Amino acid sequence: MSRAYVVVTPARDEERTIAFTIESMLRQTVRPLRWVIVNDGSTDRTREIVEAHLAANPWIEVVDRVNRGHRALGGGVVDTFNEGFARVADLPWHYVVKLDADLSFDARYFEHLLDRFDADPALGMASGKTFLIQGGRKSIEWCHDDHVRGPAKMYRRACFEAIGGLEARRGWDMIDETRAQMLGWTTKSFLDYELIHHRPIDARQSNVLRSRFDMGALYWFLGYHWLYHAVRSARSAVQDFPIVVGGLALFAGYVWAALARRERYDADYVAFVQKSQLARFNWRHLMAFVRAQGAENR
């Protein structure tokens, strides 16, 4: 089975972190056919850092986009990804990776992930779990095992094409996996494969609480069941940045959208999401959460 894969990295003002990602990619035991880094209008040294590695590594390419003047969530990230993907679409790839420029990972990360795809023909998208290191302590950015976080997503070609690529809107990294699951694909994030996230999710937003509130409203749109979201918000209040108030803002955004009777995704999608979420209230998922907390101390 072919292991040919391509990687696309949207990057905007990543001078503090992109060197970690470059170092990790250079060490991979199985390298991609091409790694396209899309410089999304950076005003710092992002391009300079990337450019220093181009001559010695012809499999790395940088593409420049015009500076739009601000960091764009959701649709802007997908538009940037798509511009890079267009540069590799005609290559003989079997997997495509959307990889952020603020991660570091083991030299055998992609080798091990490809092993998982080889072992399970139904696996449509996958990644490792993301961890933060703050104050010398490692903590997991918790997500359930069926969720593949946006910072690092590897797609099997057949799955990527079946879902029609990525939808250019905030929540794309939940829409893609739900669509895949509805089509019978398995999606998975593996605790054994660590991705060190050098910046907390939402940490670069100018107004973090507003971002969390908007995320709560997004969860309403995406069909989250109220009970699941309540538990999700409580867990976030304890573990996610910013502690306590972030979780409250997440819950408030959902409640506001519900009371305002904001629109939701299509009915079949919402029904699938809610059925899947309620099915996670079981012993197996609780044990998965407990194991994840134990991984913080490894």
Contact of 200 with 103, CB cutoff 8 Å: no
Which one has a higher pLDDT value, 135 or 149?
A: 149
What is the residue extent of each domain of the chain? 5-197, 208-295
Mean pLDDT score, 189-212: 84
Dump pLDDT digits (tens) for 22-33: 999 999 999 999
Query: Is CATH 3.30.70.3340 correct for 5-197?
Result: no
Mean pLDDT score, 85-102: 98
pLDDT at 38 over 80: yes
What pLDDT score was predicted for residue 291?
Answer: 72
pLDDT at 228 over 60: yes
What pLDDT score was predicted for residue 69?
Answer: 61
What pLDDT score was predicted for residue 297?
Answer: 58
Rounded Cα distance between 62 and 47, Å, is: 8
The reported pTM is 0.92
**Residue 158 CA to its chain's centroid (Å):** 19
pLDDT at 292 over 70: no
End-to-end CA distance of the chain: 33
Dump pLDDT digits (tens) for 55-68: 999 999 999 998 77
What pLDDT score was predicted for residue 136?
Answer: 81
C-alpha torsion angle, residues 84, 86, 88, 91 (rounded to 10) = 170
